[in-house]
Amino acid sequence: MYYNKPNKVIIVGDSSNHRVLKFSLDNPSSDGTVIAGGNGPGCEVNQFYNTVGVALDSSRQLYVTDSSCGRLLKFSPNSNSTTFGVVISYLNLPQGIFIDPLTDDLYVAIYSDSSIAKFTNGSNTSVVVAGA
């Protein structure tokens, strides 16, 4: 789950339904809006098997870790269920995501080797900054 305070939205990875949803806090009784996935289970760039981590950078690009497909994906701002993501990296069991709001550096927890990978400001390559 990711809370975007300036835009008053909560973004949630819905693993059971293979999608990412956005909920507006200005209209809490409304249904969530699909902003990625929702096209059945799979490892295509418009599908997920197991959405674990979600986050937005300062440009409102959506980042998603799909643990079962072993990848980190990026989606453009205002994406929806018809949007195709871009694979940033293949990782072995990626989990949670954190984006540093000052630098847009992306940190991904990797379950398989108990480490944290850092992607500097949108880079496709990472360095291990903690763990194995």
Domains and CATH numbers, the chain: 2-98 (2.120.10.30)
What 8-state DSSP symbol labels residue 31? Answer: P
The region of weakest confidence among 8-12, 98-102, 104-108, 124-128 is 124-128
Distance of CA 44 to the CA centre of its chain: 15
Sign for the pseudo-dihedral over CA of 84, 11, 121, 127: negative
The region of weakest confidence among 21-25, 28-32, 37-41, 99-103 is 28-32
Taking a C-beta distance cutoff of 8 angstroms, is the pair 129, 117 a contact?
yes
- Encode pLDDT of 92-108 as tens digits: 999 999 999 899 999 99
- Collapse the DSSP code of 35 into the 3-class scheme (helix H, G, I; strand E, B; otherwise coil) and give the result: strand
What pLDDT, on the 0 to 100 scale, is given for residue 42? 94
